[in-house]
Structure 1
Amino acid sequence: MDQKTFENKAEQLNEKMPEYCPITYSMSIIGSKWKIPILWKLILDDGQHYNHLKRMVGGITNTMLTKSLRELEDDGLILRHSDGTVPPSVTYHLTDLGKDLVYTMEELFDWGQKLHAAHEE
C-alpha cells in the first residue's frame, strides 16, 4: 500500500472512531494467546470434540483450552453442544457471530503468509 492510500485510510478510520476503541474491545474478546488458534481451527473444521481441538491447536494445556472455550462460549462466538450421552459427547461449533470472523481471519492468514515470505528472503 502506498503512503497516500495509507494516510487516506487512516483518516477515514479516525473520522469514524467512536469514544471507545473497537480494536481494543475486539482484542479483549479474542486477544488471548489461544483464542485465535481455536477459532481458526473451528473455521477450518467446525464441530470439533474437545480432544480433537486440543490436538489441532497443539501446545495448549487442558486448563487453557477449557478456559478459552468457556470464554468464547460466554462471548457468543462458539456453541457447546452436548449429545446427552454416557460417556459425554460434546462438540464445539461456531455461532453466526463466530463465523463473521472468517473474513478477518482470512486477512490475518494472508498477512501472515506475506510476512513469512518477507522474512524468508
Structure 2
Amino acid sequence: MKTIGSKWKIPVMWYLMLNDGQHYNELKRSIGSITNTMLTKSLRELEEDGLLKRISKGTVPPSVTYHLTDTGKDLIYTMGDLFEWERNIWKKNNGINVKRDSTTLLCNEVSFFNLLFF
C-alpha cells in the first residue's frame, strides 16, 4: 500500500499512462490541484519504487521527462481491471448505464481509489 497509497500517485501514473514522456509542468497542468511539493514528492517516490523513470536530456536549460516503467504499466493495467470490476458492481447494484468518457472515467476511478486507500 505504501507504493500507491498516497493521494497523488495514482493520478500521476494515470496521466503518464495517457501521455507518456511528460514534463513536470505538463503533469502539473494535467492533474490540476496538486502542489509542487506533492508532485515532486510523488514523482521521487514512484521513481524510487521503480514505477517511473526520470529522463534528463542533459541540456541547458534542463529538459526532464517522466515515463512509466514496465512495472508501472503493469500496475496501471491491473488497476484498470479493478476499476472495471468496480464499475460492473456499481452498475449491477444501481441499474445505471455508466458513460465511459475519459473525464468521468478518471474522476470515478480516482474516487474509487480514495475510498479504498483513505
Normalising by the residue count of structure 1, what TM-score does the alignment of the two structures yield? 0.69
Q: How many Å separate the matches in 1 of 2:67 and 2:5?
A: 19
Q: How many Å separate the matches in 1 of 2:90 and 2:7?
A: 19
Q: Which moved more, 1:109-118 or 1:29-38?
A: 109-118
Per the alignment, residue 29 of structure 2 pairs with 55
Deviation at 1:60, TM superposition (A): 0.3
Deviation at 1:115, TM superposition (A): 7.1
The C-alpha deviation readout for 1:88-118, integer Å capped at 9, x for no partner, is: 1000001111111132221244356557766
Which structure has the greater CA radius of gyration? 1
- Structure 1 unaligned residues grouped into runs of 5+: 1-26
Q: How many Å separate the matches in 1 of 2:74 and 2:67?
A: 13
Q: Is residue 2:24 matched to residue 1:42? A: no
Normalising by the residue count of structure 2, what TM-score does the alignment of the two structures yield? 0.70
Deviation at 1:44, TM superposition (A): 1.1
Partner of 1:46: helix, strand, or coil?
coil
Count of residues paired in the alignment: 95
- Structure 2 unaligned residues grouped into runs of 5+: 97-118
Q: Could you tell me the percent identity over the aligned residues?
A: 68
Per the alignment, residue 20 of structure 1 pairs with none
Structure with the bigger RCO (C-alpha within 8 Å, sep 6+) is 2
Q: Is the 8 A contact 1:47 1:91 kept in 2?
A: yes
Aligned alpha-carbon RMSD (Å): 2.0
